[in-house]
Structure 1
Amino acid sequence: MRLALAERHLGRVIRAYRCHPYHGRVALPQTVVARWLGITQAQLSRVENGPPLVHLDRLTHWAQLLGIPAGHLWFRLPDQHCWADASLIADGPDRADSEEQPTAHGRRAAVAVSVEEASSQGGGATERRRFNVLAALAGLAASGHTYLLAAPAEVPRTVGMEQVQLASSLVDDLRRADAVAGADLLCDVAIQVHTRLSAWAARASYSREVGDSLQSALADLSIEAAWLAIDAERRSEARPYLNEAIARARIADDPRVEVRALTHLSLLIRESQPGESLHCTEAALRVSAGWATPRLTTLLHLRRAHAYAVLADASGFSREMTKARRELDRGTHEDDQGFVHFVNRQELIGIEGLSYLALDRPERAVQSLRTITDNPSPGHRRNQVYYAVRLSEAAYRQSDVNEAARLALDVLPAVNQISSKRVSRHLAQVRRNLGAPQQATATTRQFVDAYDQSVSV
């Protein structure tokens, strides 16, 4: 069991558990353990005897089901407040060159020094941005990944599954940091890490098995970089990463990653190219046929519903919303991928509200979006804030300027905390609308003054 944990191979951990003498002279049957995990006996056999799992969603789910103590894992569980035991974290991309890599303690100290230096420089926007980025990466520092953010270093001679697992865990780290610090602070970080790990794929040596897993992990990292670019309003930078993710997923024959990339691409272009957005979701539905979970299918139909609304196709919008509701009613599934965890009743109603705005039906948009603000989803704060801002926009388009101003004033502090330029852009548009002389009332002036003061700080 200790050897399997040290090898970071959950399949071998499961096999060691099944065959442990505690269970008697006869090992636990694969059929029994497979039923615990919600898979078939044949699938469990492949997990135990094949390459190590690298997808964190499945790793964390199975580790929790089996009750493996967090301190023995090489990845962090969702409810774990700190990263796993530092002794299980590699000191660098190539253990053969470990003497050239700083220790985990040294890396944390280096980050602290960099933060202090950046803060003391003051003044320049670049230095302040660098300080904010480094401060947002306390989690990456704790997990020993900060050497990926340093000045360019030599590419390791060889890459193994340990480095692939590192690349996969970085996606999870970035998602967690994004929830705390916001995309504005992390976009450059994700791009820099992607550049470093892409050099590994291009110049290091590795086996075919490692190569396929590395392509999938890098595709995931490309998707995360694209999402951060979208939320940071750097949309022109996002598409190349999504195109790359699709290519890498196809090289690795990984349809799940390809579908994630297509789903994000449909989001990126749904306003500017709604017809192409529909093609992306159609392709994602085709690729995922036979294995898509209800929540993934729900998300794809919601993407299509909004694209039809942008095309002013009310019947297409209504048809896709009906399909989305039907799929959402089927509930969650243990195979749900991490990126669909935000898909819930509030998200469905939110997309419905945005679609009504696109269809120029602000009264219906207000009705839908107000349902979200009255029944918040605490686990998805950024989406909650986003829909609150769009509710203010809908109220303005309904010619209720005082209600629009009141809603915008209420959500202003939260917008300033989440560091999402995508959200900030919509609130800035509300301020421009309400700041027009013909809209002047005591309530609109109160919001405009508060907004201008918050921007100037």
Structure 2
Amino acid sequence: MTHATCPRCGGRLARDNDTGRCTPCQAAERDRLSTPPVVPANFWDHEPVRLALAERHLGRVIRAYRCHPYHGRVALPQSVVAGWLGITQAQLSRVENGPPVVHLDRLAHWANLLGIPASCLWFGLPGQPYRVDDRAAEGTADDPYAHGAITEQGKLPAMVVTVEGASTGGGGATDRRRFNAMAALAGLAAAGHPYLMTDPAEVPRNIGMEQVRLASSLVQDFRRADAAAGAVQLCDIAVQAHARLSNWAARAHYSREVGDALQSALAELGIQVAWLAIDAERRPEARPYLNEAITRARIADDPRMEVQALTQLSMLLRESQPGESLHCAEAALRVSARWATPRLTTLLHLRRAHTYAVLTDAGGFSREMTKARRELERGPHEDDLAFVSFVNEQEVNGIQGLSYLALERPDRAAQSFRALIANPSPGHRRNQVLYTIDLADAAYQQGDTNEAARIALDVLPAVRQMNSGRVSRNLAQVRAKLAALRDATATTREFVDAYDRAVTV
């Protein structure tokens, strides 16, 4: 007679064991209700899991994961796995049985949570290089991830080159901006988003998951291009793309499952458009996109997208409506209370700390900053969403410095900015340049105008390389202050002259 064996450790099971697990393995997994187990490497070689991965359907991967023999003869309940994922059992049922999930933040979050190896995935994980598979390399017509929609990490999509080439177009400012946007849209169409240049009467009347996947990947293209080309060049392009996709979605037909995924994808694109508008110093244009994103996130029952929009809205409203800014950050804390990682919580407390400083509430600033630092000390988490990747010690020092400037404490602000510059974050060059300019402003407010001019002169070449309205505006403000000095020194005149030459080139 052949004895059954435990699928977890390989040990022989007693004849009367009807659980499918030996006693030690049952004891080792008593905490499985709170966290996924660490599974062996060969777990992912199980045939149902491999087939689900090949179908690029994370819901089916999760179902195969739950039913894997590793967990015993009884599959993991949906309610247990849903708890790990931060969703309800009903939502998990729709994920498993409906169309594929396309939201990249959610895909990465759940893949990290379950420990799926990066080599098995059809999308990239934060901090890990993306491996382009054979289908993408071949550019098959039926594969929505082909045609450059997802590229190797570090490789710029075609749209960046197109934007740069279009920037020499003639005509007035409005015509030139429209020319740039339309030329870049043509580049996006060539890079895997053909619906952006199709006549509205000719686009498909039905939207399926392949179109939603393309819309979601468009956000990643904009993020990469923003890092390379800057928001000033990209803002009009993103506005045009969002308008075309929204119009298409309003006229087309799709199932409820596709509709939820489409709402999340359009919400994420709206948040990206709003960010580009903020960085391009077109702030009044940003709020409608964020309001729309919150509405779409609620329609799709996507709290992570709602929190992302609320977080950005809090930043947008800080100067003009600080009270509402506080409410937005508080709402984001409330919505994310069950699943927020330390980095997300850190960011939300930073939003509140800076707003309290704008309100000249030093006590509120101090309380929120203490909470932010306490959360940051808990370290990064495998469930961190992509949009909080910039939250680190340098960013905390930067927000602290800005808050001290708002509280008219330039001495403390300078300390924070110098701590940041002494330990730079290579992956966040734009913020590094911004905070360096703020250090120049802090030096000016302390009365050390020569030091302010020296810092501003040193950072001027980096500013010229960036197409960021925020960066340009901040340096222009420093220049205006130094140019207005009655007792200008050789150092301050040198910076003002260098700045004026740079902006006229």
**For this structure pair, what is the TM-score category when the shorter chain's length is used for normalisation?**
0.7 to 0.9
* Residue 392 of structure 2 corresponds to residue 336 of structure 1: no
* Residue 220 of structure 2 corresponds to residue 172 of structure 1: yes
The corresponding residue for 1:216 is 264
Alignment partners' CA distance in 1, 2:232 and 2:129: 25
Residues paired across the two proteins, number: 439
Preserved CA contact (<8 Å) 1:139 1:177: no
Alignment partners' CA distance in 2, 1:146 and 1:388: 41
Residue 155 of structure 1 and its aligned partner are, at CA, apart by 3.4
Preserved CA contact (<8 Å) 2:266 2:293: yes
Q: Decide whether aligned partners of structure 1 residues 401 and 152 sit closer, same or farther in structure 2, where only a CA change above 3 A counts.
A: farther
The corresponding residue for 1:185 is 233
Residue 10 of structure 1 and its aligned partner are, at CA, apart by 3.1
Higher-Rg structure is 2
Residue 73 of structure 1 and its aligned partner are, at CA, apart by 2.7
Alignment partners' CA distance in 2, 1:59 and 1:404: 46
Moved more, 57-66 or 208-217: 57-66
* Residue 474 of structure 2 corresponds to residue 433 of structure 1: no
Preserved CA contact (<8 Å) 1:155 1:203: no
**TM-score of the aligned structures, taking structure 2 as reference length:** 0.76
Residue 51 of structure 1 and its aligned partner are, at CA, apart by 3.7
Letter in structure 2 aligned against 1:246 = I
Residue 160 of structure 1 and its aligned partner are, at CA, apart by 1.3
The corresponding residue for 1:161 is 209
The corresponding residue for 1:370 is 418
Where structure 1 has 5 or more consecutive residues not aligned to the other structure, the ranges are 94-102
Q: Of 213, 228, 232, which residue of structure 1 is paired with 2:276?
A: 228
Letter in structure 1 aligned against 2:459 = V
Residue 67 of structure 1 and its aligned partner are, at CA, apart by 4.0
Residue 182 of structure 1 and its aligned partner are, at CA, apart by 0.7
* Residue 441 of structure 2 corresponds to residue 381 of structure 1: no
Letter in structure 2 aligned against 1:73 = W
Preserved CA contact (<8 Å) 2:163 2:233: no
Residues 272-291 of structure 1 aligned to structure 2 (within 5 Å): 272-291=320-339
Q: For 1:261, what is the secondary structure of its paired residue? A: helix
Alignment partners' CA distance in 2, 1:393 and 1:113: 35
Q: Of 108, 114, 122, which residue of structure 2 is paired with 1:73?
A: 122
Preserved CA contact (<8 Å) 1:298 1:323: yes
Alignment partners' CA distance in 1, 2:169 and 2:277: 27
Q: Of 296, 300, 325, which residue of structure 2 is paired with 1:252?
A: 300
Residue 285 of structure 1 and its aligned partner are, at CA, apart by 1.1
Residues 41-440 of structure 1 aligned to structure 2 (within 5 Å): 48-60=96-108, 66-67=116-117, 69=119, 73=122, 80=129, 85-87=136-138, 104=147, 118=166, 122=170, 125=173, 129=177, 140=188, 143-145=191-193, 147-149=195-197, 152=200, 154-440=202-488
Q: Decide whether aligned partners of structure 1 residues 76 and 151 sit closer, same or farther in structure 2, where only a CA change above 3 A counts.
A: farther
Q: Decide whether aligned partners of structure 1 residues 161 and 104 sit closer, same or farther in structure 2, where only a CA change above 3 A counts.
A: closer
Letter in structure 2 aligned against 1:285 = L
The corresponding residue for 1:98 is none
Alignment partners' CA distance in 2, 1:189 and 1:116: 12
**TM-score of the aligned structures, taking structure 1 as reference length:** 0.83
Provide, for residues 351-410 of structure 1, a one-character-per-residue CA deviation record: whole Å limited to 9, x for no partner. 000000000111111111111111100011111111111111111111110000011011
Please, what is the CA RMSD of the aligned residues? 3.8
Letter in structure 2 aligned against 1:365 = A
Q: For 2:379, what is the secondary structure of its paired residue? A: coil
Q: What percent of counterpart residues are identical?
A: 69
Letter in structure 1 aligned against 2:229 = A
Q: Decide whether aligned partners of structure 1 residues 150 and 330 sit closer, same or farther in structure 2, where only a CA change above 3 A counts.
A: same
Provide, for residues 329-359 of structure 1, a one-character-per-residue CA deviation record: whole Å limited to 9, x for no partner. 1111111111101000110110000000000
